[in-house]
Amino acid sequence: MKLKGILPFSKQLIDLAAAPGDTVVDATCGNGNDTLYLAEKVTETGHVYAFDIQEAAIQNAQLKTQDHAHITFIQDGHEHVSQYVTEAISCAIFNLGYLPKGDKSITTLPETTITAITELFNLLKPGGIIILVIYPGHAEGQIEKEAVLQFLSEFDQNLAHIIQYGFINQKNNPPFVCAIEESGT
Ligand code: SAM
């Protein structure tokens, strides 16, 4: 297949946005896959802030990234990001929903996700990108998808370029990506 799948596409966006030396945020570190990718991308001259509300997720992500010292793990909601991150960031990523193989009753929620997007947008460098991988295949995810798409569709087009990428002929509400690029004006 030549078209990128959802997760490879999200990584391609990280490649576009993040470079060695940058500060970046994994807003939902979960098992640490994106945390590791970000850490390798920004190298030890950069820094990754990784958020999750679950201790189990932070532990899994720490294990996966143990060779990298330039990561700060924060067991708190991403909606509080501005309490922890004050420098400009080039990239942030969310994988919404619940922890794979974890407690499915603990999921990201529309209100806190939108608060976090707003806070992170205020930290973005010109041309920086926020990536959202959205999972509408479960009930809470469907509600979150509607709320996030509503919020993004009303975002000022002078401030950001916002895209949606996904496969429209897949069954069972497949995941898709939205990306918010700070317009640099
Ligand atoms: N990218 C992750 C990986 O590589 O495994 C998967 C992330 S998982 C789909 C979503 C994560 O968001 C869960 O681990 C969950 O605990 C976390 N989460 C839920 N609400 C959150 C919040 N308000 N702030 C930060 N993390 C949150």
Residue 71 lies in a domain: yes
Q: Domain of 27: which CATH number? A: 3.40.50.150
Residue 1 lies in a domain: no
Residues 25, 131, 43, 58, Cα dihedral to 10°? 50
* Cβ of 33 less than 6 Å from ligand 1: yes
d(CA 31, CA 53): 12
CA 26–ligand 1 middle distance (angstroms)? 9
d(CA 31, CA 51): 11
Nearest residue (CA) to ligand 1, atom 2: 30
Residue 52 lies in a domain: yes
Complex confidence, ipTM: 0.98
The pTM of this model reads 0.97
What's the number of domains the chain is made of?
1
Tens digit of each residue's pLDDT, the chain (185 residues): 899 999 999 999 999 999 999 999 999 999 999 999 999 999 999 999 999 999 999 999 999 999 998 999 999 999 999 999 999 999 999 999 999 888 999 999 999 999 999 999 999 999 999 999 999 999 999 999 999 999 999 999 999 999 999 999 999 999 999 999 999 86
CA 185–ligand 1 middle distance (angstroms)? 31
Residue 102 lies in a domain: yes
Q: Whole domain around residue 148: which residue ranges?
A: 6-182
